[in-house]
A and B are shown apart, each in its own frame.
Chain A
Amino acid sequence: KNEVEQSPQNLTAQEGEFITINCSYSVGISALHWLQQHPGGGIVSLFMLSSGKKKHGRLIATINIQEKHSSLHITASHPRDSAVYICAAPFMDSNYQLIWGAGTKLIIKP
């Protein structure tokens, strides 16, 4: 069983839709990362959160430490949001060794 699981694996939506990507983990962690990767592109760290909720522009990330679950939401989605979204949990409390989810490939159609 993977220690970090994401769902869905693939998501296609129309521009403007509200997007939710889920991440469940089985390890005890102090913080969870959400990252974005465009095809052939770099990796952008979106959020690192250890409790509650964080918001940046149209992106919102929430985490429930007790339930070991986190969600990434995108409001008013846009084609430029199309990318792979990855959640990653620290490995054994490391700040830099991360257990990566498989990623969610998001396509937003105009």
Chain B
Amino acid sequence: NAGVMQNPRHLVRRRGQEARLRCSPMKGHSHVYWYRQLPEEGLKFMVYLQKENIIDESGMPKERFSAEFPKEGPSILRIQQVVRGDSAAYFCASSPLLAGVSTGELFFGEGSRLTVL
């Protein structure tokens, strides 16, 4: 049973380019969460998605950032017109459901490390 898969593991972009990060949750998990970890800091929640639905995007910057989790395929975190401050590790997590509700257990991917030059 594969864990949470994220790709790419490392991504380098120049200022102004777009970054796309992908996350495939664990098999059977339909809830996906994205977090950002700035250097020497803890994880900050960004967005919570279910298939075809954004549940909570309160942690997402209002501009340049978007996320989706289509019916088919991985969840995608998209950062447009990247700036140096976007350089961070972006982690995805998924959680299982029990009776339709998340159990609260979080299974993390290896993260995608974005470097903006």
Interface residues of A (CB under 8 A from B): 31, 33, 35, 40-45, 48, 86, 88, 90-91, 95-98, 100-103
Contacts and interface: CB of A to CB of B under 8 A. Distances in A.
Given A33-B106, A43-B108, A95 B42 contact: no
Nearest to B58: A97
Contact of B45 (A45, A48, A97, A102): A97
Contact of A45 (B33, B48, B102, B107): B107
A30 to B, nearest CB: 8
B111 A42 contact: yes
A98 B59 CA distance: 12
Interface string B27-51: 0000001000000001101001000
Interface size on B, as a range, is 20 to 34
Contacts, number: 52
Interface string B2-33: 00000000000000000000000000000001
Contacts of A90: 104
A95 B102 contact: yes
B42 A103 contact: yes
B45 A43 contact: no
Q: Which of B95, B105, B113 has the most CB of A within 10 A?
A: B105
Contact of A42 (B103, B105, B110): B110
B91 A45 contact: no
A40 B40 CA distance: 11
Nearest to B9: A42
Contact of B108 (A42, A97, A103): A42
Nearest to A102: B42
B42 A100 contact: yes
B102 A96 contact: yes
**For the complex of A and B, 3 pairs with smallest distance between CB atoms:** A100-B42, A42-B110, A43-B108
Nearest to B102: A95
Given A43-B91, A102-B42, A95 B104 contact: yes
